Amino acid sequence: SQQGEEDPQALSIQEGENATMNCSYKTSINNLQWYRQNSGRGLVHLILIRSNEREKHSGRLRVTLDTSKKSSSLLITASRAADTASYFCAEESTGANNLFFGTGTRLTVIP
């Protein structure tokens, strides 16, 4: 299976704290993307980091990429209750015109 893995599977934090999710992938990539999914809904794109980038920011989101370790992390700073959702990483492999999604991290932010 080409499916990557995310760690932790579930994370529960207090509002205002930071949340860090990690993603490991298996292939050589063009880019890695992060998506968010509210329960039972569609996925929403958050951020894309290219293989030649090491860090990217978007609002309260910070993504890092380490291609030597085939890993990425997503940091959400100053979390809010509305951040409660599942977060998925998705790898676009070199030569593949498709995205392979990780197993997801379920984040719960307690007000």
Partner 1 sequence: KAGVTQTPRYLIKTRGQQVTLSCSPISGHRSVSWYQQTPGQGLQFLFEYFSETQRNKGNFPGRFSGRQFSNSRSEMNVSTLELGDSALYLCASRTDWGRIGELFFGEGSRLTVL
Residues 49-88 that bind partner 1 (CB under 8 A): 88
Q: Which of 11, 13, 48, 75 is close enough to bind partner 1 by CB under 8 A?
A: 48
| DSSP three-state, residue 24 | strand
Residue 79 vs 91, nearer CB to partner 1: 91
Q: Least CB distance from residue 14 to partner 1, whole Å?
A: 27
Cα(96)–Cα(12) distance, rounded to whole angstroms? Answer: 35
Contact between 6 and 102 under an 8 Å Cβ cutoff? The reply is yes
103 binds partner 1 (CB under 8 A): yes
User: Secondary structure of the chain: what % helix, strand, coil (to 5)?
Assistant: 5, 60, 40
Question: Taking CB under 8 A as the rule, does residue 21 contact partner 1?
Answer: no
- Of 10, 41, 78, 110, which one interacts with partner 1 (CB under 8 A)? 41
What the block records as the tokens of 47 is 């951020």
The correct pick among 19, 84, 100, 107 for binding partner 1 (CB under 8 A) is: 100
Q: CA geometry: angle at 12 spanning 6 and 18, to 5°?
A: 80
Binding residues (CB under 8 A) for partner 1: these are 3, 30-31, 33, 35, 40-45, 48, 88, 90, 92, 96-104
